[in-house]
Chains A and B, each alone.
Chain A
Amino acid sequence: MKDEAQPLIRLTNLKKIYYTDEVETHALAGVNAEIARGEFVSIIGPSGCGKSTLLSILGLLDTPTEGRYMLNGTAIEDLSAAMRAKIRNREIGFIFQGFNLIGDLTVFDNVELPLTYRDGMSRAERKERVQASLERVGMSHRMKHYPAQLSGGQQQRVAVARALVGQPSILLADEPTGNLDSRNGDAVMKLLEQLHADGATICMVTHDQRFAVCAKRRIAMFDGQVVDEQALEELRANELRQPLSEQAAARSAV
């Protein structure tokens, strides 16, 4: 039994370092954070601050170099690739900026895809879940269509349905409105808010302030670290005033 009082996600001094030849890049430099069940959190920060790296680690697509990542009471960092794939399938729903629907599969098949990686689920149950999920995002009438036959907004709603269909513990959304016009972007954000209202835990990476405020809590990042929002604004302002050479020197010192 998982302890419902425990946060869904707990990150302790999480670090990610990339090594290329003689260069060491600290993408995450000791991140500490928690996300509770039912929370809607947005991660904000400038380009290269580590948002996407953090999201990849949260989504079990990548592993931290150091530190601890507890998901639903399970320590993730030492799990095998196969085990991570299994947990990813059960606990996490991804929504990507570029939708990432598979062009050769119908809407139904795309949404069904995560369930096909799950053992012991009957075809009838899969069908029921896919239909429910598509109805939830208002796309059940396009089940037999292929992605190319849908608009960008519709494709993203299908992607949301695919993320929801496995009934994951958390939805990870990486710039979900980045490829959409403002009207479709608004519609997708409303959908996420509705899902959150229905009890879904959502963690969204965005650089769009308009949508970041929709989240109930914001985690600000700068140079691989979590900072408070006020500090982030100050850091940005300083950066604008500093010459480029000094900025580079400051970053390499992290």
Chain B
Amino acid sequence: MQPVFQEMRHALQKLRKDLGFTALAVLTLGLGLGATLYMFTFVKAYLLSSLPFPDAERIVHVEQVNTRRGDDGIAITQRDFVEFGRVQQSFVELAAFHIANVGLADDELPTRLAGAYISPSAFDAIQSGARMGRVLSPADAQPGAPPVIVIGNDIWRNRYNSDPQVLGKTIRVNGVPTSIVGVMPEGFEFPFNQSIWMPLQIDMTQPAGPDSPRLQVFGRLKPGVTLEQAAAEFANISKSLGEMYEENKNLTTVIKPFEDAYISKSARTVVGAMFAAVLFVLLIACANVANLILVRTAARQKEIAVRAALGANRWRIVTHVLTESVLLATLGALMAAFLAERGLDITNRALIAADKERPFWVDLSIDWKVLVFAAAAAILTGVIAGLVPALSATRTDVIQYLKDGAKDTGMSASKISRAMVIVEVGLSCILLVCSGLMIRSVVNLQNVDLGIDNTQMLTGRISLLETKYPDPASQLRFFENLVDRLEADPGVVAASAAWSYPGIDGRLTPYRTRAMAGAEPDDLPPTNYAGVMSNYLDVVGLKLVRGRWFDSRDRADSAPVAVIDQGFAERAFPNVDPIGQEILLGGRGNTNAQWLTIVGVSSRVLLDQANDPYHPAVFVPLSQAPSRFMTVAVRTVGEPINFAQRLRETVSALDPDTPVYWVRTLDDWIWVANFTPRLVSILFGIFALIALILSAVGVYGVLAYSVTQRTLEIGVRRAVGASGSRIINLIVGQGMLQLSLGLGVGLLLAMLFSRFLSSMLHGVSAFDPFTLGSVVVVLIAVGLFASLMPALRAIRVDPVKALRSE
């Protein structure tokens, strides 16, 4: 180790003496490594993390797939869950849950918390126990059992001040007096980010139709049973169920690691693609620093020759150069850790602001895994950046340099430098194309036409307690009263309640017209639909283009009616007047559905999140489709967010047990819906900008060095009559040649790479000619700028001095 310490001491001395070089190299590597650490934290969190339970890899998720429609991720009906549990042999424990926002009321203000109704066997499946009290037991899930709840550590600490007497305390959960029986350990938020758990009671009296309650099913595989074996067993059970029940026709089962159910394949692909992108930035940084060291090493050939003469073998010379580059990378890594930590802090705050929830085991912070990666990346980066200069140094002509110090520092170094610049330009091109595509996509998303006037709108979600509002009439009455009170407020232009609104959410279902009488249920096209109040049009600013809107004629007991949007009319009734036509909503097994008569046609509307694709829309009167779960919307006179408190107060005055949550303006909903693509586009933009700057510095550095090396040649050319423009052409031409080669390779690779982003692109193709053309223009402009400065220096070469110095 002694030689390494000696080299480190010498390298530190040298770096201290050449602060300009050190700062530039550390900054370059710091930016490259910083971006890499930042994205590696995402990779660690989303791709490498698993549930924090014993043998977590044996905990798997069970879901259904409709093989005919291609729908996947279908939750499982209670009946199928019971059937699976009765027959299966692959799992030690098969468990289920469904997540719900639960109203919790005690001595403090009522609140809504993310909770889960969970089968007691779940705790055995994940092998987790309570930190205080007990977890749920099978007896708790029996019909008629006293209501109990297990709370999370955070609630125990924050809401109950870590009171050890909390066990046995009775609180109201969704209006029902419920006893606290346990407190879970800190960090336990299974299955996603839940903080309270209630027993899941299976109600087999519920029909197993398309709208029946569905469960997320998971379990722990028995020792020795593989995922494939379990999948084969469940496929057989599914086949049997398909033969027994009409609604199970075309359904099969998919079993996958539990984490995969909550982190989508497209999210993994995007994280992977972005990690690859930052590796490109790191490679560009490495190439730049390698060039810097190469130039520096070329200038130090004599010193290296002296070291060789004094007995330094090839290994020591390589160590000498590598020590310096690894030291630079280590300093860069320190800067990178700081930059990554800042970046993650900003990202975490933005995610919280955008209500972007993530699974509890996904931790976007720098931990020991990231630090180990940082150390390994720093050493590897140092070696990559230093290897070419180090090997180049071992080829120093010792005798020549000791004799008189050679003036030509070797063509091989120049060739390597030029090759590295071509690589840099190519990689920058890939990043610029990806960045350009994402920016175009986000601009498209931001300008998406919802088909309504989305300004001046405030919305909030309300879930009525089943115990207080058990029947449709009481539910409808609550919302009608609420809307009346809101519309009486002078700050409100109009108010309404509906299942959902354009830009917020959608509910997709298959539909059938009379003309589709013979169609298989799984072949039916989808539409978004929502139950709405009669003043919906006034609030959202939707236009009625034909027929009528809902009014007092549309009661619960009158003929069922619907209003469709123009998109629906064009697809379902291209050649006939839609007014008076009938449609049926719901797919296979939906035996209770009624034919709805179309009474009106609205303008085209996107009844879904702003980043979702357009589907036709169907509205039904709320009086004929009441629900406990509704969104109220108010069009305000002033700034909509300023009405938030009044909205809460109005709801609370009507029913103190019913909180209103997700209070946001419609613009905020659009912002939140577009948050992920915007984040990806911002990150790609930052990475591309770093890459562009580093590449420009690379082109400049190599050309500037080349001008220094070619001083004599330029002097001779000037002496024999070359004009300034000829010299500029010579130098800029060299830069443009490198740029063209890099651009050619980069464009080809960019077209391959951008396909990984296709799931994130909205209204723009992965091969968008405008983006590709813009990247070419930007790179050429930057390349010209970077080449021009060395070229201008070249024409200032004094031929007399240049020739005399030789």
**A residues neighboring B (CB under 8 Å):** 52, 56, 59, 61-62, 81-82, 85-86, 88-90, 94, 96, 98, 100-105, 109, 113-114, 116-118, 162, 166, 174
In contact, A89 and B14 (Cβ under 8 angstroms): no
User: In the assembled complex, which residues on chain B have CB atoms less than 8 Å from the CB atom of A174?
Assistant: 402
In contact, B312 and A117 (Cβ under 8 angstroms): yes
B240 at the interface (CB under 8 A from A): no
User: In the assembled complex, which residues on chain B have CB atoms less than 8 Å from the CB atom of A94?
Assistant: 309-310, 402
Report the bound CA distance from A96 to B307 in whole Å: 13
B266 at the interface (CB under 8 A from A): no
Shortest CB distance B546–A (Å): 85
Report the bound CA distance from A142 to B405 in whole Å: 26
Other than the known A100-B302, A113-B310, what 4 A-B pairs have Cβ atoms closer than 8 Å? A86-B313, A89-B312, A100-B306, A104-B14
Q: A100-B302, A105-B13 are in contact. Are A59 and B309 (CB under 8 A)?
A: yes
Report the bound CA distance from A86 to B315 in whole Å: 12
By CB atoms of chain A within 10 A, which of B311, B402, B405 has the most? B311
Report the bound CA distance from A94 to B312 in whole Å: 13
Shortest CB distance A54–B (Å): 12
In contact, A102 and B311 (Cβ under 8 angstroms): no
In contact, B311 and A61 (Cβ under 8 angstroms): no
In contact, A116 and B6 (Cβ under 8 angstroms): yes
Report the bound CA distance from A46 to B7 in whole Å: 41
Report the bound CA distance from A11 to B10 in whole Å: 38
B718 at the interface (CB under 8 A from A): no
User: In the assembled complex, which residues on chain A have CB atoms less than 8 Å from the CB atom of B315?
Assistant: 82
By CB atoms of chain B within 10 A, which of A82, A90, A102, A105 has the most? A102
Q: CB < 8 Å: which of A56, A85, A104 contacts B17?
A: A104
In contact, B302 and A62 (Cβ under 8 angstroms): no
Q: Closest residue to A118 on the B side, CB-wise?
A: B311
User: In the assembled complex, which residues on chain B have CB atoms less than 8 Å from the CB atom of A90?
Assistant: 311
Shortest CB distance A92–B (Å): 8
B316 at the interface (CB under 8 A from A): yes
Contact residues of B between 295 and 318, Cβ < 8 Å to A: 302-303, 305-316
Q: Closest residue to A96 on the B side, CB-wise?
A: B402
In contact, B398 and A61 (Cβ under 8 angstroms): yes
B571 at the interface (CB under 8 A from A): no
In contact, A113 and B307 (Cβ under 8 angstroms): yes
In contact, A86 and B311 (Cβ under 8 angstroms): yes
In contact, A61 and B403 (Cβ under 8 angstroms): no
Q: Closest residue to B13 on the A side, CB-wise?
A: A104
User: In the assembled complex, which residues on chain B have CB atoms less than 8 Å from the CB atom of A85?
Assistant: 308, 311-314
B144 at the interface (CB under 8 A from A): no
B3 at the interface (CB under 8 A from A): yes
In contact, A82 and B3 (Cβ under 8 angstroms): no
Contact residues of B between 706 and 757, Cβ < 8 Å to A: none
B803 at the interface (CB under 8 A from A): no
B399 at the interface (CB under 8 A from A): yes
User: In the assembled complex, which residues on chain A have CB atoms less than 8 Å from the CB atom of B306?
Assistant: 96, 100-102
Q: CB < 8 Å: which of B3, B314, B402 contacts A100?
A: B402
User: In the assembled complex, which residues on chain B have CB atoms less than 8 Å from the CB atom of A89?
Assistant: 310-312
User: In the assembled complex, which residues on chain B have CB atoms less than 8 Å from the CB atom of A62?
Assistant: 399
Report the bound CA distance from A102 to B320 in whole Å: 14
User: In the assembled complex, which residues on chain B have CB atoms less than 8 Å from the CB atom of A82?
Assistant: 313-315
User: In the assembled complex, which residues on chain A have CB atoms less than 8 Å from the CB atom of B17?
Assistant: 104
Q: A59-B309, A85-B311 are in contact. Are A98 and B14 (CB under 8 A)?
A: no
Q: A104-B13, A105-B13, A116-B6 are in contact. Are A61 and B314 (CB under 8 A)?
A: no
By CB atoms of chain B within 10 A, which of A59, A62, A85, A166 has the most? A85
Q: A61-B399, A105-B13 are in contact. Are A98 and B311 (CB under 8 A)?
A: no
Q: Closest residue to B317 on the A side, CB-wise?
A: A85
Q: List 29 A-B contacts (CB under 8 A).
A: A52-B403, A61-B309, A82-B314, A85-B314, A86-B311, A86-B313, A88-B309, A88-B311, A89-B311, A90-B311, A96-B309, A96-B402, A98-B404, A98-B405, A100-B305, A100-B306, A102-B303, A102-B307, A103-B303, A104-B303, A105-B10, A105-B13, A109-B10, A113-B310, A114-B311, A117-B3, A117-B311, A117-B312, A162-B310
Shortest CB distance B362–A (Å): 48
Report the bound CA distance from A109 to B309 in whole Å: 16
Contact string, B200-236, partner A, CB cutoff 8 A, digits 1/0? 0000000000000000000000000000000000000
Contact string, B584-628, partner A, CB cutoff 8 A, digits 1/0? 000000000000000000000000000000000000000000000
User: In the assembled complex, which residues on chain A have CB atoms less than 8 Å from the CB atom of B313?
Assistant: 81-82, 85-86, 117
In contact, B14 and A114 (Cβ under 8 angstroms): no
In contact, B314 and A81 (Cβ under 8 angstroms): yes
User: In the assembled complex, which residues on chain B have CB atoms less than 8 Å from the CB atom of A104?
Assistant: 10, 13-14, 17, 303
Q: Closest residue to A82 on the B side, CB-wise?
A: B313
Report the bound CA distance from A205 to B212 in whole Å: 101
Report the bound CA distance from A174 to B315 in whole Å: 27
Report the bound CA distance from A109 to B403 in whole Å: 23
User: In the assembled complex, which residues on chain A have CB atoms less than 8 Å from the CB atom of B307?
Assistant: 102, 113, 117
Report the bound CA distance from A3 to B311 in whole Å: 24
User: In the assembled complex, which residues on chain B have CB atoms less than 8 Å from the CB atom of A86?
Assistant: 311, 313
Contact string, B384-412, partner A, CB cutoff 8 A, digits 1/0? 00000000000000110011110000000
User: In the assembled complex, which residues on chain B have CB atoms less than 8 Å from the CB atom of A56?
Assistant: 399
User: In the assembled complex, which residues on chain A have CB atoms less than 8 Å from the CB atom of B316?
Assistant: 117
By CB atoms of chain B within 10 A, which of A61, A86, A118 has the most? A61
Contact string, B1-25, partner A, CB cutoff 8 A, digits 1/0? 0010010001001100100000000
Report the bound CA distance from A90 to B311 in whole Å: 8
Report the bound CA distance from A116 to B323 in whole Å: 15
Contact string, B312-336, partner A, CB cutoff 8 A, digits 1/0? 1111100000000000000000000
Q: Closest residue to B312 on the A side, CB-wise?
A: A117
The 4 lowest CB-CB distance pairs between A and B, nearest first, are A89-B311, A85-B313, A117-B311, A114-B310
Shortest CB distance A249–B (Å): 28
Shortest CB distance A129–B (Å): 14
Q: Closest residue to B15 on the A side, CB-wise?
A: A104
User: In the assembled complex, which residues on chain A have CB atoms less than 8 Å from the CB atom of B14?
Assistant: 104
Shortest CB distance B655–A (Å): 79
User: In the assembled complex, which residues on chain B have CB atoms less than 8 Å from the CB atom of A105?
Assistant: 10, 13
Q: Closest residue to A175 on the B side, CB-wise?
A: B403
User: In the assembled complex, which residues on chain B have CB atoms less than 8 Å from the CB atom of A113?
Assistant: 307, 310
Report the bound CA distance from A102 to B6 in whole Å: 15
Q: Closest residue to B16 on the A side, CB-wise?
A: A104
User: In the assembled complex, which residues on chain A have CB atoms less than 8 Å from the CB atom of B10?
Assistant: 104-105, 109
User: In the assembled complex, which residues on chain B have CB atoms less than 8 Å from the CB atom of A117?
Assistant: 3, 307, 310-313, 316
Q: Closest residue to B17 on the A side, CB-wise?
A: A104
Q: Closest residue to B313 on the A side, CB-wise?
A: A85
User: In the assembled complex, which residues on chain B have CB atoms less than 8 Å from the CB atom of A166?
Assistant: 311
Shortest CB distance B389–A (Å): 16
Contact residues of B between 1 and 57, Cβ < 8 Å to A: 3, 6, 10, 13-14, 17
Report the bound CA distance from A118 to B3 in whole Å: 9
User: In the assembled complex, which residues on chain A have CB atoms less than 8 Å from the CB atom of B404?
Assistant: 98
Q: Closest residue to B307 on the A side, CB-wise?
A: A113
By CB atoms of chain A within 10 A, which of B6, B314, B315, B402 has the most? B402
User: In the assembled complex, which residues on chain A have CB atoms less than 8 Å from the CB atom of B6?
Assistant: 116
Shortest CB distance A172–B (Å): 10
Q: Closest residue to A85 on the B side, CB-wise?
A: B313
Q: Closest residue to A80 on the B side, CB-wise?
A: B313
Contact residues of B between 266 and 305, Cβ < 8 Å to A: 302-303, 305
Report the bound CA distance from A118 to B305 in whole Å: 17
User: In the assembled complex, which residues on chain B have CB atoms less than 8 Å from the CB atom of A88?
Assistant: 309-311
By CB atoms of chain A within 10 A, which of B13, B308, B314, B399 has the most? B399
Q: Closest residue to A146 on the B side, CB-wise?
A: B17
Q: Closest residue to A113 on the B side, CB-wise?
A: B310
Report the bound CA distance from A94 to B306 in whole Å: 9
User: In the assembled complex, which residues on chain B have CB atoms less than 8 Å from the CB atom of A118?
Assistant: 311
Report the bound CA distance from A59 to B402 in whole Å: 12
Report the bound CA distance from A166 to B310 in whole Å: 10
